[in-house]
A = this chain, B = another copy of it.
Amino acid sequence: MPRANKSAKAAGKDESVLRAIKGEKAVFKPAAKTALDKSPAKPIPFKPGSAVADDAPIISLNLEPAKLSPAMAAYFKKCQDKLGFVPNVLVAYAFDMTKLEAFVAMYNDLMLGESGLSKLEREMIAVTVSSQNRCYYCLTAHGAAVRQYSGNPLLGEHLVMNYRVARLNKRQRTMLDFAVKLTTSPWDVEEGDRERLRRVGFTDRDIWDISAVAGFFNMSNRVASATDMRPNTVYHGQAR
């Protein structure tokens, strides 16, 4: 039987997240079974970003939230201020500050730090890898990011569904082909594959970054699938 990591409520007025941000231990109440669970075949009025939809458990493990460290409280607050919500993956990791901080450090360096890859390109890798692994959490959160960064909603849909239908230039297609091969048959990646990346202009440092981002989502996809992690509902409507 699934147990619930009681979820944060919707963005803006989410008391438990805010309490967490202030460094208090969150007191979650058991999530009410949502209407969705009961009768999926019947139309259900759905308000994006509403409390109802986000009331579902974030993960299917029963982990007691920890007190946020000052650094993490500040980080959650920054998320709340800039995004209007704290991404559920952070709430999921917040049962243990060491794990949360290590995750945040690696994530921020890979996805937001200096790189020869644009942020959009890194998000494109994230979505393409997550599509191979059919990871609901990452496809939703990073699909939204691709739509936003590119200003092209179709690109987000293409990468979620089948990156081969996207109208990509040669550089990006080669980059995603590499990420997909590294995801599906890593044992088969050899010098020829690196050479293909070099031939379309990637430096060895870029190759590291492509590999590290593809690797990171092969990790995150599995943590999300293993725990049945659910994305914030707000992503679904973003940048359509």
Contact = CB atoms under 8 A, between A and B. Distances in A.
A105 B99 CA distance: 9
Contact of A40 (B48, B136, B152, B219): B152
Contacts of A240: 48, 236-237, 240
Interface string A85-122: 00000000001001101110110010001000010110
Highest count of chain B CB atoms <10 Å: which of A172, A182, A219: A219
A41 B121 contact: yes
A194 interface: yes
Contacts of A205: 61, 63, 95
B60 A152 contact: no
B211 A222 contact: yes
Contacts of A109: 98-99, 102
A109 B168 CA distance: 37
Given A46-B154, A135-B187, A160-B160, A215 B211 contact: no
Contacts of A152: 36, 40, 43-44, 46
A81 interface: no
A150 interface: yes
A214 interface: yes
A1 B215 contact: no
A69 interface: no
Contacts of A221: 186, 215
Contacts of A139: 161
A43 B149 contact: yes
A80 interface: no
Contact of A204 (B3, B39, B43, B214): B3
B53 A186 contact: no
A133 B60 CA distance: 27
A72 to B, nearest CB: 14
A158 interface: yes
Highest count of chain B CB atoms <10 Å: which of A36, A154, A158: A154
17 contacts: A36-B167, A38-B169, A41-B118, A45-B151, A46-B152, A63-B208, A98-B113, A135-B162, A135-B187, A140-B157, A153-B236, A164-B188, A186-B226, A210-B226, A215-B222, A215-B223, A237-B240
